[in-house]
Chain A
């Protein structure tokens, strides 16, 4: 079952913050975040493992709330280069190794 991402799209000005959420109705083992620019392959950003661990990458960080089966991606002081579509990929507890991807969040950062 596909995880639910929200919002579907967001438009920001440079320097503003954004949060992208990824929710699952099934127990999660891990959440993997990717960014895809137009015409390019998805690029791995970070992985969140079961346990509520929070990770960071430049000004992009993420958290994993095991109780809510939800992960959130935080983009702080956004830059033009952050524009793209963000996908969460989920691995479910006790299931096979393939990721199930959300529908994506299109992020546009304007100057």
Chain B
């Protein structure tokens, strides 16, 4: 398994500002992902964070809005840019270790006013 931490755990932000969420894993992992989960909804993949190269975004998500970094095999950041109330959600980091399943971090609860 993997121990994953996310910072911040929750935040309240003003419209038009940006928030950077950090994800730290206790061991090297092959893949890191960022998901969004609206209250009562399923998990929607935003992007795959690639170490040393640009992230791979899913349909409906763009780099200008959700820039992602992954400088090494244990750390990644997701920035939610120019926020609007529609960005209010839970943002989850997940990781996959070689040959295993995905494990999720505790999530970041974001409220945009």
Contact = CB atoms under 8 A, between A and B. Distances in A.
Given A41-B107, A44-B101, A87 B31 contact: no
The contact size tier of chain A is 20 to 34
Is chain A's interface secondary structure helix, strand, loop, or mixed overall?
loop
Interface string B38-52: 000111110010000
A20 to B, nearest CB: 14
Contacts of A42: 43, 92, 104
A89 B102 contact: yes
B105 A41 contact: yes
Contacts of B101: 32, 44, 47
A57 interface: no
Interface residues of B, number: 18
B33 interface: yes
Given A41-B92, A97-B31, A97-B96, A103 B42 contact: yes
Contacts of A44: 1, 101-103
B102 A102 contact: no
A42 B41 CA distance: 12
A37 to B, nearest CB: 12
B15 to A, nearest CB: 25
Is chain B's interface secondary structure helix, strand, loop, or mixed overall?
strand
Interface in B33-74: 33, 41-45, 48
A100 B44 CA distance: 8
A15 B107 CA distance: 32
Contact of B43 (A47, A96, A97, A101): A101
A2 B41 CA distance: 13
Given A41-B92, A41-B107, A99 B102 contact: yes
A32 B106 contact: no
A97 B43 CA distance: 15
**Smallest CB-CB A-B distances: 9 pairs:** A41-B104, A101-B43, A42-B104, A101-B42, A103-B42, A47-B101, A41-B106, A32-B101, A44-B101
